[in-house]
Amino acid sequence: MVKFLKPNKAVVVLGGRFAGRKAMIVKQFDEGTRERPYGHCLVAGISKYPNKVIRKDSAKKTAKKSRVKAFIKLVNYNHIMPTRYTLDVDLKDVVTVDALQSRDKKVTACKETKARFEERFKSGKNRWFFSKLRF
- The CATH code belonging to domain 9-122 is 2.30.30.770
Is 66's pLDDT higher than 60? Answer: yes
- Contacts with 26 (C-beta within 8 Å, 6 or more apart), sequence order: 7, 41, 42, 43, 44, 91, 92, 95
pLDDT of residue 3: 79
Is 2's pLDDT higher than 80? Answer: no
67 close to 119: Cβ distance less than 8 angstroms: no
Rounded average pLDDT over 32-40: 90
Rounded average pLDDT over 71-90: 93
- pLDDT: is 3 or 62 the higher one? 62
